[in-house]
Amino acid sequence: MLDGLRILDLTFYLPGPYATLLLADLGAEVVKIENPAGGDPLRGLGPGGDDPAGSVFFRAVNRGKKSVTLDLKAPEGREVFLGLAAGADAIVEQFRPGVAARLGVDYGSVRPRNPRVTYVSLTGYGQTGPLSSTAGHDLNYMAESGLLSLFIEGGRLPLPPIQIADLNGGNLAAVALLAGMLSARLTGQGSWVDVSMTDGLLSLMGLTASNYLSGGLPPERGNLFLAGGEPPYNVYLAADGRFLAVGALEPRFWTNLCRVLSEHDPDRRPVKDIAASREEAGRVFATATSDEWLARLDGLDVCVAPVRTVAEALSGELVRSRGMVIESGGVRQIGPALAFSGPAAGTDPGAGPGSDPGSDPGSGPGSGPYPAPARPAVAPPAPRLGEHSRPILLSLGLSEAEFEDLVARGITTCA
């Protein structure tokens, strides 16, 4: 999909690498620019951190990329970077505001070499504002945005189990990169994009914040419409200690569900009474196991799903059938979330239905003029530190002797 696009990636840990993973999975050439003294800190963080290939975490978000090491504090390293920037479609960096300028690799330094470049700056609090230079991580951005407060319940504040600010910031940075590169194709001019992870969290809270800004109550977990405040959108505990998620927002779904609850209610309460109260619905759910309820509701339009553990989900039929677990470099991990059909995805529109192994010759996807959407091919494993330094730097016109001199002086390394 994105073959032929080159993105220079100056980011580390999770937010920026997640953004460029999305584009690498779609075929873009992503070149990680790493510090020769250890590279991306995520290489050594978590399980497998002592492996030369990097930790499990590092490999999960860096497959399909190339690694070039450069000491950007050295004038020669900076000049090599600017040489790479001259031929890049996009650059993404994750330094605190002002750091890229001090290093001489900011948008102002790059633009004279490449007026068409898209330059994305991904930070916690943005390029401007009172916190722009403040250090922080995912948890801090959630705290400052107000999102973290919505997890408070009963005097406790459990930490969110995934890095919402980082991952959402990565998604936004990927959109910024794509939008900037498309704009450059249309206008011939590049752009500098300011992506704030805290701004991104506020965007995620658009419905909640808009309700408050329009005169509603200050948002708290107990008064949020979709956080336990309404019986049709809630979780219920079954007799076996397993939870069932009910997302029956539309009245017909909730009515369908409450009819079944009423039919199996030992107290024989009418549908309208059960539908009016979370406590009443919860009382009935507690009279049978989760499997019993799922069997009773099978085939009905009720929007009920079992609350699976992550392990159960990863080994379940849905994940298997969708091909979401892949293997890259001997490591099992989550694969690309998007599937494509058509010429840009490498499928043949003239092949007709059923030409793709995953297509259905009947109705639905795969039955029209295109094969069913398919996932991109599994990208190569994450790169070793400096694995591509030699070929990429030599492609700039450096001689072998000049490259070896940079290696000898610690400005670059090669795996």
User: Which amino acids are annotated catalytic?
Assistant: 137, 166
Taking CA 351 as the corner, what is the angle to CA 350 and CA 355, rounded to the nearest 5 degrees? 155
What phi and psi, each to the nearest 5 degrees, are found at residue 326?
Answer: -120, 175
Query: Within a 10 A sphere around the Cβ of 100, how many other Cβ atoms?
Result: 22
What is the bridge-based pairing of β-strands 243-247 and 304-306?
antiparallel
Dist CA 392 CA 395 (whole Å): 5
**Pairing state between β 304-306 and 325-328:** unpaired
Rounded Cα gap, residues 108 and 102, in angstroms: 11
Q: Which helix (H) or strand (E) holds 240?
A: none
> Residue 331 in 3-state DSSP?
strand
Where does 5-148 have alpha helices with state H? 15-24, 56-61, 75-85, 99-103, 107-110, 138-145
Q: CA-to-CA distance for 225 and 206, rounded, in angstroms?
A: 13
3-state SS of 130-191?
A: CCCCCCCCHHHHHHHHCHHHHHCECCECCCCCCCHHHHHHHHHHHHHHHHHHHHHHHHCCCE
**Assign residue 293 a region: left if phi > 0, alpha if psi is -120 to 50, beta otherwise?**
alpha
CA distance 72 to 408: 16
Checking 53-60 for CB contacts under 8 A at 24+ apart, the result is: 53/329, 53/381, 53/382, 53/384, 54/382, 54/384, 56/331, 56/333, 58/382, 59/328, 59/329, 59/331, 59/333, 59/381, 59/382, 60/331, 60/333, 60/334
- Supply 133's token pair: 């230079």
